[in-house]
A and B are shown apart, each in its own frame.
Chain A
Amino acid sequence: MKRDILDRLLAAKAAATPVALVTDLSSGLQTLVFEDTMHGAFGLEADVRDEVRRRIRQDRSGLLTDPQDEDGFRLFVHVHNPAMRLLIVGAVHIAQALAPVAALTGYDVTVIDPRGAFATEARFPGVKLNHLWPDEALAELKPDMRTAVVTLTHDPKLDDPALIAALRSPAFYVGALGSKRTHALRLDRLRDEGLTEPEVKRIRGPVGLSIGATTPAEIAISIMGQITCVRRGENHPC
């Protein structure tokens, strides 16, 4: 890999800019394809370029062969997308376990809690903290298709506004901590707030895979297992 390509790739990753590194496996030459520009040792036909950008949006690395000439050029497209995000509402004990488990899984974690005594650096070393009210925090952080949102406060004043904002976003996972009874009451409140049945059905509640989790760390693992299952496990029950 040429120095120039390496530097630009690292800069794009540091800036959380989606990019694909395209390698010609016959020659070793490489080109970077961004959403709006390209940079590197070779150009690409418009249709190939469009396909590479489609792969970026699909987050799908892999070989790309010329359909007209299967023995011709062989390109490898390596998609480098920004990390998936996890927004945790509630800087509670379970969040202290979930934040590092999620980070280990490769997620960019933010813990949201307006209560200053909970969301402290001492309780969450090295974790991004957001002290806004949850609906304002979500408006700022804009959950997208690569974002999971989990509410952990047990307090409707905090959880409900977060859930309403999350369910109206494209977040791929929305989970809420609470027993079956708590969850049923929560769904009633959200319906009263005007959320539709398909919207409230998106909530994973009680949150997490059913593995008998009891301690904060075990609950964190069950939540991260469920998020992973929703993301990856096409034919698995989550």
Chain B
Amino acid sequence: MNDTLMADNIVEQAAAWRAGGRRVALATVVATWGSSPRPVGSQMAVDEAGAMAGSVSGGCIEGAVAHEAAKTMKDGEPRLLSFGISNEMAWEVGLACGGQVQVYIEAVE
């Protein structure tokens, strides 16, 4: 069974990747408004090759978060991202989840 499907073990996944010598960033949902698909505390780990474990939305913003995570892996600086996803905007930016979400990205040292 895929362990990352089970609740709340993305930190373990990030640590395992880091222990394997890869650069890793951890993204965490710190606030939500409206009908955002994943609750506060949801996490996604990203490694330097772009491998992802977990999620911070229903698949709408993971790509953008992984892109920002790559920057954090390079410069070590944490990032706080806000995604406001209105239904009107959804087609333009390819985000269809609805709601708003704030995601914190940090490097795992």
Contact = CB atoms under 8 A, between A and B. Distances in A.
Interface in A38-89: 61-63, 76, 78-80, 83
A3 B1 contact: no
A213 to B, nearest CB: 22
A43 B26 CA distance: 23
Contact of A78 (B7, B12, B28): B28
A106 B1 CA distance: 12
Interface residues of B, number: 24
Interface residues of A, number: 23
B106 A1 contact: yes
Classify the secondary structure of B's interface with A: mixed
A103 B7 CA distance: 9
B90 interface: no
A6 B6 contact: no
A106 B11 contact: no
A104 interface: yes
Contacts of A25: 30, 78, 80, 104
B88 interface: no
The dominant DSSP class at the A interface is mixed
A76 B1 CA distance: 31
Nearest to B12: A10
Contact of B11 (A6, A28, A61, A105): A6
Interface in B1-43: 1, 5-9, 11-12, 15, 18, 26, 28, 30-31, 40-41
A235 to B, nearest CB: 15
Contacts of A2: 109
B101 to A, nearest CB: 13
Contacts of B77: 28
A95 to B, nearest CB: 17
20 contacts: A1-B26, A1-B109, A6-B15, A9-B11, A10-B11, A10-B12, A10-B15, A25-B104, A28-B106, A61-B40, A62-B31, A62-B40, A63-B31, A76-B30, A78-B28, A79-B41, A100-B1, A103-B6, A104-B5, A106-B6
Q: Identify the 3 closest CB pairs spanning chains A and B, nearest first.
A: A106-B7, A61-B41, A28-B78
